[in-house]
Structure 1
Amino acid sequence: MPRPEVLERIKTAEEEADEIIESAKAEREERIAAARNEADEIRETARQEADELEEKRLAEAREDIEARREELLEEGIQAREELVEEAESNVDSAVDYALEQFEEAVNAQT
């Protein structure tokens, strides 16, 4: 093969190699960009899911707190009613005791 032909083939091969390299670089950049976009989408989806889960858990916690609050209020109302009943049942005894003390005090003065 003549020398100029060999040089031309080498030059063509180098140009093809350069094109392949440039194509590979461009493809690599496209893949990196696509991977970054996909990662951004995954992060956004994960953030949205985390926000939704947080809202769900907060709602459940609020429901639990409200239920416990209602229980405590009911317990407080019951305890108050029991104390009122007990106090009312002691009124007669308290009046009797007060009268006895008063009578003793009056008798002690006379």
Structure 2
Amino acid sequence: MPSAEVLQAIRDAESEADEMVAEAESARDERIAEARERADDIIEAAREDAEALKEERLESALEDIEAERERILEAGNEEREAIVEDAAERIDDAVAFALSQFEEAVHAQT
């Protein structure tokens, strides 16, 4: 009977080893699932951060563009005002010149 007891002990040890392997595989699968979940969370957080950064940079770029637009418009308005002033100052000279040209043409015909 000692051999029957030995065989039973071997079967018990194999059964115990199978249980240990099954538990280890189950624990491994749980750790892998948890790691995948953490990785998904990290990826989602990174996407959210990237989206927020993109929006921030876009907003900053739009503000810069608007500031540049305002600067260009202001410079254009100043230039327009200078041209209008210059033209207003020259109107009397232009009228006098046109009148003298007209008078010369009239005198030339007579």
> If the TM-score is normalised by the length of the shorter chain, which range does it land in?
over 0.9
Distance in 2, matches of 1:90 and 1:35, equals 81
Deviation at 1:63, TM superposition (A): 1.0
4+ residue runs of structure 1 moved beyond 2 angstroms?
Answer: none
1:26-57, Cα deviation, whole Å (9 max, x unpaired): 01110110011001100111011111111111
Deviation at 1:23, TM superposition (A): 0.5
Distance in 2, matches of 1:104 and 1:15, equals 128
Distance in 2, matches of 1:7 and 1:104, equals 138
Q: What does residue 107 of structure 1 align with?
A: 107
Q: What does residue 69 of structure 1 align with?
A: 69
Alignment gaps of 5+ in structure 1: none
- The letter for the 1-side match of 2:3 is R
RMSD (Å), alpha carbons: 1.1
Distance in 2, matches of 1:87 and 1:40, equals 69
Q: How many residues align?
A: 110
Distance in 1, matches of 2:29 and 2:58, equals 43
Distance in 2, matches of 1:27 and 1:93, equals 98
Distance in 2, matches of 1:107 and 1:11, equals 137
Q: What does residue 3 of structure 2 align with?
A: 3
Alignment gaps of 5+ in structure 2: none
Q: What does residue 92 of structure 1 align with?
A: 92
Q: What does residue 33 of structure 2 align with?
A: 33
Query: Percent of aligned positions with the same letter in both sequences?
Result: 55
Q: TM-score scaled by structure 1?
A: 0.96
